[in-house]
Chains A and B, each alone.
Chain A
Amino acid sequence: MRNFVFVSMLALAAAVAVPVAFLSGEKPAPAADHLDPPARTNPNNDSTPDFPADIADLYVTHDDQMVTMIVTFGGPAATSLPAMYDADLLFTISVSNQAPRTTTDIPIVFQFGRETGVADGPWGVRVRGVPGVEGDIVGSVERIIEKDGVRVFAGLTDDPFFFDSQGLTETRQTGTLSFRNNRDFFGAQNITAFAIQIPRDRLENGTNELDFWTFSDRRGGQI
């Protein structure tokens, strides 16, 4: 019975995979938001894909004291590749803490730049608009930066997303059931990320729910 259910679920999974892939028309099956929008970030749809601006995932967690937001972008990438910092990009996390929930009340902006006066020098990150922080938060990537009760990190990490994206692609290409729960397309791959941890009383507004979304903007237009 267990085998029957498992086989049925595999069939179901494959069936889920096929239409998504067929309908999307994309060769590498996207997952959370990797390679989306395809006309700007997917090499199968764009001859100049903007990998550094390609947001993959947004995570938001909280506990009694803090809210943590994490954004991954520029991946998944082979483990031999460096992080995807680009000085001409802005990444914004928008937070809405009052009606209407569709407008930004707190914009937190992340930006990257190289060490002053050093050609191809180490990268730094600047964070603007953090409530309760005087001025900007600035520091080296791949280090934890702390200021006024806020923590920031930017750097190369393991890609935290897990999903059998390969199964979607193979099933679409072959018509053979190939969706597996023991195959993680994002396993053994890295991604660039930034994270910020803020005392929750700087975001909360009474008992209002909070809404979070993120976006990337490139200076001078899309590449």
Chain B
Amino acid sequence: MRRVIAGALSLSAGLALASCGGDEPATVAPPPGTAQVVSVTPCLNQIVPGTGKTVVDLVVPDTITVNLNQASVFPNGRRLQDPVIDITLAFIFLDMNRHGPSTFVNMPLNPPVNDRPFRTQFPFLALPQGTPPLSGSDTATQFDFVNAPASEYVRVDRTGMPAISPALIAPSRRNEYNDAGPGEDAAFVFASELTTQLQLLHEVLVDDFRAAGLTPCAALR
């Protein structure tokens, strides 16, 4: 099954550059290094240390997966304090045989913590900043909730794993992606999007990774 997936992803990666829709921005001039990237399939199929899962397993379907018998830390769940972007950048860009998922966290690339400490008790989120108007009540007990059939509702947004839609789906297909669900993800309806965006990113970045002493996971010419 995994071979089928890898084959589909590899094929789509080669074709999808021409598949962008009408609202796609003008193509950026290929930077140095473009010709070096052959395929990002090795990135998608590499095992992420500590998870026993491939990158594809982690991002498709677009859900947060939790093994309750293992420690609660991203990508096994997602805690408020987890630096999810730096971790994700590592496992989609770097060779996990040479670098760990915490490579960028240890630098760090991005701010490593929230600007306010999280509470230690439920609901854990930090209190709002400033003095915004609040809307709660200690006395209200009856509220008017809309009781309408499901047929009256239309999807607006969906999310699971952080940043999958903004980072790896072209704007032209974001509405379609958000209207879909894990079933479509697992059927690889959006495989071309994932591989296209990831390959474009690798093409731009491969020289930067190497200059920084890091080994990209993409297959290079």
Contact = CB atoms under 8 A, between A and B. Distances in A.
A39 B177 CA distance: 12
A124 B183 CA distance: 33
Nearest to B163: A32
Interface residues of B, number: 96
Given A20-B167, A213-B182, A195 B123 contact: yes
B28 A184 contact: no
B154 A217 contact: yes
Contacts of B62: 213
Contacts of B78: 58-61
Interface in B57-99: 61-69, 72, 77-80, 83-85, 89, 93
Contact of A157 (B113, B128, B200): B128
B210 to A, nearest CB: 10
Nearest to A6: B107
Interface string A182-223: 111011111001010100100010010111111111111110
Interface in B197-221: 197, 200-201, 204-205, 208-209, 211-214
Interface in B141-161: 141-146, 148, 152-160
B115 A79 contact: no
A28 to B, nearest CB: 11
B128 A122 contact: no
A55 to B, nearest CB: 5
A68 interface: yes
A33 B162 contact: yes
A115 interface: yes
B163 A155 contact: no
B161 to A, nearest CB: 8
Interface of B is mostly: loop
A37 B157 contact: yes
Given A15-B208, A32-B162, A37 B177 contact: yes
B120 interface: no
Interface in A26-42: 26, 30-33, 35-41
B28 A23 contact: yes
Nearest to B165: A36
B25 interface: yes
Contact of A62 (B65, B77, B148, B177): B77
Interface of A: 5-6, 8-9, 11-13, 15-16, 18-20, 22-26, 30-33, 35-41, 45, 50, 53-63, 67-68, 70, 78-83, 85, 87-90, 96, 100-103, 111-118, 121-124, 126, 138-144, 151, 153, 155-158, 160-164, 179, 181-184, 186-190, 193, 195, 197, 200, 204, 207, 209-222
13 contacts: A9-B212, A12-B109, A36-B166, A38-B174, A100-B183, A114-B143, A142-B134, A160-B80, A181-B112, A189-B129, A211-B64, A212-B65, A222-B156
